[in-house]
Structures are given as structure tokens and as C-alpha cells.
Homo-oligomer: A and B are copies of this chain.
């Protein structure tokens, strides 16, 4: 099998578009490079969303995240980029992306980015 990583996200139709429900997808195997030192960074990426017309298929998401393996990205930036790409591809009612980055220099960093926060607030 020769699957290749790609940033193309292939959504599938949401089987229950009439209902507001929540999906959480956790990927503990994200790795990219540090843009300053070129050394590998590691993170757990968690995507939480209330689907709109489309949902993400797991294999497609895996290939998308894998495609960052040889790219250099800052923590705050890459978490925002992943959110932007997923929002464009899925048109969700609400989405949050969280990146929990491994300790560097004795410091743990966690970035949490949200699309359409009003959706959640109106239902709190």
C-alpha cells in the first residue's frame, strides 16, 4: 500500500444533518518541525465540532495531519491553520481545535482555537 500524505480533505455527507450533535476526534500522533531549529515537535491534536452538511472521514483526516510532518510551524500558527482548513472543508456549525504540544525547555504549551463561538454561547 502506498498511501501518500496530502492536505486535501475529503468530507462525506453528514448522515444526520438535521440534528445538532458533537464529534470529538483526538490524534495523539501529530508531528511537525520547529521553524527556528528544524527539530521535530510533537503534539496531540483534538478536533471537536458540531457538523453542518459534511463530516470528516478518519482516513482523510489522518492523511491531512500526516502532511505536516516535514513542514516548519509555530504552535499558535499551526493550530489556527488546521482550524481554518477544516472549517473551509466541512462548513461546521461550530468547531474547536486544540493542540497540546510536548514539553520544550521545561514548558508545556496548549493552544485552543474556536470557530463560531457564538453557537456554543447561545446554547449554554
Residues of A within 8 A of B (CB): 1-4, 14-16, 19-29, 31, 36-40, 42, 51, 55, 58-59, 61-62, 66, 69, 74, 76-77, 79-80, 102-114, 117, 121, 123-124
Closest B residue to A84 by beta carbon equals B16
In the complex, the count of this chain's copies comes to 10
B1 touches A37 (CB 8 A): yes
Q: What is the interface of chain A mostly: helix, strand, loop, or mixed? A: mixed
List 7 other contacts, CB 8 Å, given A21-B79, A40-B69. Answer: A21-B111, A31-B40, A58-B109, A103-B106, A104-B106, A121-B123, A121-B124
Chain B residues with Cβ under 8 A from A106's Cβ?
Answer: 27-29, 42, 62, 102-104
A80 touches B37 (CB 8 A): no
A6 vs chain B, min Cβ distance (A): 13
